[in-house]
Structure 1
């Protein structure tokens, strides 16, 4: 069988490969994160604050669908990378076909359920009073685009599994640019209000889907499906579910964490501490994007070479990814340690006509965010090992350790810490929970990663 073009993952310099994979992934993650922020600014200026609240009500639904598509994508992409590395193109094709069918079944089911119980679901997410009607408009229209969003998120990870990070980056940029342009046309020019905001979002999903469909239909992709590849295979579906479950579980734990943090901080310091955490949460989302990009770029390299049984290259990819991610994490750490006040000020309104209550809240946030931010990011330089270690087990198809290590920081350490430490140390107990959880999770990951490398990746010496 002729070698597929993804063979560069097994032959090119690991350092160069990681840069080629990580830079587009980082840019894509950054652009998608910025989309939410800029979209909210446009909607708030052109429709009003109620519209922002309405969109915020629907965002958890969109995030869940995106996470579901990404879970199916990441779970299957791990199989695809290893199959291509083992020169088993047929298995890669069957996996991709199964991903398509699973995404179709899951997303259509969610659309039906979402439309049947729309009046019950929206209030549960906070869409009450004046927010209900605009939220229902936005929710209903966006829900029509759910299958498209699911396919877009799934397809993006498969593109990266083929070793085509630039195409994956473009696929992530298209919905961001498309959404902002369509916001301007539908809301500002055509004055369509909430309907315009919803159709702009759905239209951006469609633009992304069309690009991904073009990619897989063109000569750029190695995965050319035929009808036989769509038949669900129990073994493949099971592996996709187990590996993809890591992504879904991580998203669920993140949601629980935000829920707990908001309640604990409100009890300790009312709106002021909640606002402090909102800014720190934004920094957790944006500041670490290059580290997450290295992690995403590492996945197909490790998976392909593991499938090809090129274990020295797998070890090299682990070491190189940790070094690159640690360097970037350290730069983030230095910036946040030196400029926390300046960073905080970027998020606060400069309008002199704010009410006394709003001005007092701004002043509280400005003077109370620097110390918590330093605590939250205190262990940032070492998180590279934890992220790469957990990603390695996902890349090679070992779902259980991947799940446990992924959940270790927030699920096993952070959540218990924020439930216990504030009882003894008050507000400080909340913030010191972050670096303690980072250190504990990193130590656990280092142990299991080192054991796995010695057991699997170091070829035993022949007995004389």
Structure 2
């Protein structure tokens, strides 16, 4: 069967973007529901301190599982351009290397986490009363991380094949499984935070089973053993682009460490709980914008590989318009409903009092983030790893981390919250400059 999906080169950009982005958005929505469900259930059925424990553990496991996201995204760029150039052999070899790299690297990190769990948890902010529940939540999640990593990698490959509906289904399965197991283990069997961890771990495995079924029975990428022969050039191309996403997650994890320790120093467990709610809203509320970014990647990568630079330009501008419009709507919803949103997570009156204001500040610059997200994604889709890396790291690495280090010294906890919109504005300006130059030069219609 022909691997090249010519719809990406011919059909209307708006229609393609909707076709790619809607399933991706729904999938991301259900994936973030996993995170929200844990926070809501443990906050209401176990206690607000359990939310703080999740805030410590989840950045660790997301850092490890981000290997799959990174290799899926970076390898997806290589795969999309190979499909655009009608290079079937390179597409198959790329997919095989994505599997090998994801499983091998995530397993190494899991072993490291088992032997140095105490030290890692402390480094990520397991202080005071948070330490006990964080330890209880850690091990089951850690052991399931390779399955989560393979799911993240596989979903990007599915989208590169222009079969994003299956990617959506896999994440829906994971979210539904997590809800069912959370109710069973936490509410019915009264297994506490260990039950929440076990539920999340089993939801990762359910997602993995569906991904495995897809590639055995539905995928056009039919692998053979010869594709699993290690090729340094392909591995290097994948990892150079994958490093962009992995470095971003690494910086996010460093930021999580810094935030947990800073918030604990200025406000104790209570402040860490407040950020636990905000961090989950950051993942959840922006799902349609992130969905458009995911939908953008295969369209831009395929057309860049095929030399259709006019379509790449159109994809960039259309994606920014759609994502920007959605980001404005999200900002308005957060602005108006910050307090009811907080009340969903907890009944703790102090948390309900302090979270809404912080939530509004963190989301204050969200209407402009589409430029930053789509701009960084373009350079990754085009295979321009260095620029993609710099722009992807600009918000968290170059701006937010320094601001979190500096501003609380003058403004206390408020300095943490206001650092977020300042970093958004600065990173958007930088990305806009790079993207405008790119569209005026390299993407100029030939």
TM-score by length of 2: 0.88
* Preserved CA contact (<8 Å) 1:299 1:391: yes
Within 5 Å, give how 1:448-463 maps onto structure 2.
448-460=434-446
Which structure: larger Rg? 1
Q: d(CA) in 2 for partners of 1:200 and 1:246?
A: 31
2:420 alignment partner in structure 1 = 434
Tell me, what secondary structure is at the counterpart of 1:232?
coil
**Structure 1 residue 389 corresponds to structure 2 residue 375:** yes
Match of 1:365 among 325, 334, 354: 354
Match of 1:309 among 304, 307, 310: 307
Deviations 1:331-357 (A, max 9, x none): 1122233444444444441xxxxxxxx
**Structure 1 residue 216 corresponds to structure 2 residue 202:** no
1:227 alignment partner in structure 2 = 225
* Preserved CA contact (<8 Å) 1:134 1:194: yes
Deviations 1:23-75 (A, max 9, x none): 11111112121212323444567777887776665434421222111111111
* Preserved CA contact (<8 Å) 2:49 2:273: no
1:246 alignment partner in structure 2 = 244
Q: d(CA) in 1 for partners of 2:186 and 2:419?
A: 43
**Structure 1 residue 172 corresponds to structure 2 residue 195:** no
**Structure 1 residue 181 corresponds to structure 2 residue 167:** no
1:150 alignment partner in structure 2 = 149
2:430 alignment partner in structure 1 = 444
Deviation at 1:422, TM superposition (A): 4.3
How many equivalent residue pairs? 446
Q: d(CA) in 2 for partners of 1:115 and 1:135?
A: 14
Per chain length, whose mean CA-contact separation is higher, i.e. which structure has more relative contact order (CA < 8 Å, sep 6+)? 2
Q: d(CA) in 2 for partners of 1:413 and 1:141?
A: 34
**Structure 1 residue 24 corresponds to structure 2 residue 23:** yes
Deviation at 1:193, TM superposition (A): 6.5
Deviation at 1:444, TM superposition (A): 1.2
**Structure 1 residue 400 corresponds to structure 2 residue 398:** no
394-403 or 121-130, larger mean C-alpha shift: 121-130
Q: Give me the CA root mean square deviation.
A: 3.1
Which sections of structure 2, spanning at least 5 residues, go unmatched?
none
Structure 2 CA distance for partners of 1:52 and 1:376, relative to 1, 3 Å: closer
Q: d(CA) in 1 for partners of 2:128 and 2:9?
A: 57
Match of 2:259 among 241, 258, 261: 261
TM-score by length of 1: 0.85
1:416 alignment partner in structure 2 = 402
* Preserved CA contact (<8 Å) 2:298 2:381: yes
Deviation at 1:259, TM superposition (A): 3.2
Deviations 1:395-434 (A, max 9, x none): 1111110010011122112222333344555555444433
* Preserved CA contact (<8 Å) 2:4 2:86: no
Deviation at 1:272, TM superposition (A): 5.8
1:201 alignment partner in structure 2 = 200
